[in-house]
A and B are shown apart, each in its own frame.
Chain A
Amino acid sequence: MAVQTEVAAPRLGFRVPGFARRHGFVYAFALAWLVIVVAAAALADLLPLPDPTAQDYAYVRSGPSGAHWLGTDSLGRDILSRIVHGARVSLIVAALALLLGLTIGLVLGLIAGYFRGFVETAIVTLADSMLAFPALVFLMVLTGVAGQSLTNVVVGLGVIYVPTFVRLARANTLVFAQREFVLAARAGGARSGRIIRRDILPNVAVPVFSYSFVIVAHLIVAEGTLSFLGLGIPPPRPSWGAMIAEGRQDMADYPHVVLLPAAVLFLTVLCMNIVGDRFRERLDIRESAV
């Protein structure tokens, strides 16, 4: 088998890397892009890039050049550097908000699904009323009252996704709480807390974590939207949404100022969704095999 592919590969003109051959080009590309984005965000300070807030008046709204690979914006700031540093803000906000929403949602969902009764009614009603409240209004009020800061944006976005995780965790808990291994654990004298922690949580975590990728993609878009509306991370810290907002006025004459961060945002969210979908598929297959 291996011999055959070795022979067949040169006919394409180039050798397909093993990973891409096994998992498909799209998935390999998506994964590679995400690795690049995460690495860039993590290593932003170490990369040989200009300061994202430094203004170079010799190159205002310039196109790509040797000095500024992706050009500069209306204040002469390096777009590549701002995209890289913006990735950091986007990813940090998305990751922290996810962590917050997931933790609270998972705990509440497990409690609601396991104990049922009054507790469940209370939690589900709370989650449903949160879903009914317009998210943007909530975020505008929050940043209006508590001020614009990284913490407030993270808390705001995290809270908005709590009901999603409550529902997901509760629905899965309901399924697994019916399984015989839970009954067996109770027959073995285990307490409710222990059953939730050791028997139900590991099972519920599978769908919840695989769904997290999709939620992260949502959160990146949400952060971009907030920044675009001027409700996100306060300037001059770069963020993809803010970059798009700032370049908006000159879009007709200097489209690259808007299109580059928009393209990066688009690509990152797309790749996140592709990887998230693949994750979910694989976990589903294992689930059904069990």
Chain B
Amino acid sequence: MTAPLLEVDDLRTWFRTDRGIVHAVDGVSLTVGRTQSVGIVGESGSGKSVLARSIMGLLPPRRTLHPSGRISFEGQDLAQLPARRLRRLWGAEIAMVFQNPMTALNPVVRIGRQLTECLPGLSGAAARAKAVELLRSVGIPAPERRLAEYPHSLSGGMRQRVTIAMALARDPKLLIADEPTTALDVTVQAQILDLLERKRKELEMSMIIITHDLGVVAGRTDSIVVMYAGKVVERAPTRTLFARPRMPYTEALLKAIPRIDDPPHTRLDAIGGRPPDLVDPGPGCRFRDRCRYAQPRCALEEPPLRPAETPGHEYACWFPVGTPEGAAAAGADARTAGRPAISVEA
């Protein structure tokens, strides 16, 4: 097997704030193979967007600390590359699709010019022809006419198609889609995701889809990485993750997906509480306060990421779901019902 396209190793991205240092991404490792698609799942504030922006070098330099970590793309360490080489890499080799197509397009510049700006080396008629071809390839009807229009005359879904066309303009090897469907209508979501998947296959590129919605990545990505509070808590091939989640957080996320065959007025199984403060998460498992199986040990020791029996599957939990330890913890929980989930005597 050849070297993976993208390799992130023990990446830490911290931000300096007035309240202290925010550990937004805290020791994340990630590999994306060629033509592979990876989903990164987590709720707001889990560090998934910061991870993407770290890869793209899009963080505010004065506030950002990188105490450790290595990001290598095709074997070259991005931190070692000079700014000029990096600029050639971005857009051409690694491209990004953003969350909100309403703000990702410049409102006062025509679609045509925004697209042709992504096509260096081409000018005039050639650039125009390529822009039309790009728009057509992402399923925009009457592309010739769209070139002269401003973003406000396009619908949200159409705009997202335009931003995808812009990202694909230079045949990147890696596409990072940061919540590509969050700002869109549910009916349009599936179309955009199918479009992304189709283009990935056509162009043989790798893709990272970042989302808070497990439904988005279900059945579309090769593997899924679940992030919580700046850390990877579980990673597995997509099928395995859905069939046999180990980390209680993943299980809770799966349960929180509403099902169409539930009877009406079924209460949604939401995860209570909020993610921990990333300024000082403290020792122990970061999910412990919201975990239904939390045990005293969870507050004292942080579980490392360890392999499961299923291949390519890793999780960070002392009492994983579907194992004897987990069952014991679940039983203990039943016995202590009515009392706080954890109580640590000094």
**A residues neighboring B (CB under 8 Å):** 116-117, 179-181, 183-184, 186-191, 198-199, 202-203, 206, 286-287, 289-290
Contacts and interface: CB of A to CB of B under 8 A. Distances in A.
Contacts of B39: none
Contacts of A286: 152
Nearest to B151: A290
Contacts of B79: none
4 tightest Cβ-Cβ pairs between the two chains A and B: A188-B91, A290-B107, A189-B87, A189-B90
Question: Mostly helix, strand, loop or mixed at chain A's interface?
Answer: helix
A202 B58 contact: no
Interface string B98-109: 111011111111
Most-contacted residue by chain B among A181, A183, A202 (CB, 10 A): A181
A187 B92 CA distance: 10
Nearest to B100: A180
Nearest to B117: A198
Contact of B56 (A117, A187, A290): A187
A289 B90 contact: no
Contacts of B103: 179-181
A180 B62 contact: no
A181 B117 CA distance: 13
Nearest to B56: A187
A289 B153 CA distance: 10
Interface of B: 56, 58, 62, 86-92, 95-96, 98-100, 102-109, 117-118, 150-152, 163, 166
Contact of B98 (A183, A203, A206): A183
Contacts of A203: 106-108
B109 to A, nearest CB: 6
Contact of B90 (A116, A188, A290): A188
Given A180-B98, A183-B58, A290-B151, A188 B106 contact: no
Most-contacted residue by chain B among A117, A181, A187, A202 (CB, 10 A): A187
Contact of A187 (B58, B109, B151): B58
A191 B87 CA distance: 8
Given A180-B98, A181-B104, A203-B108, A189 B92 contact: yes
A183 B52 CA distance: 12
B107 A187 contact: no
B151 A188 contact: no
A199 B118 CA distance: 13
A188 B95 contact: yes
A117 B89 CA distance: 27
B88 A189 contact: yes
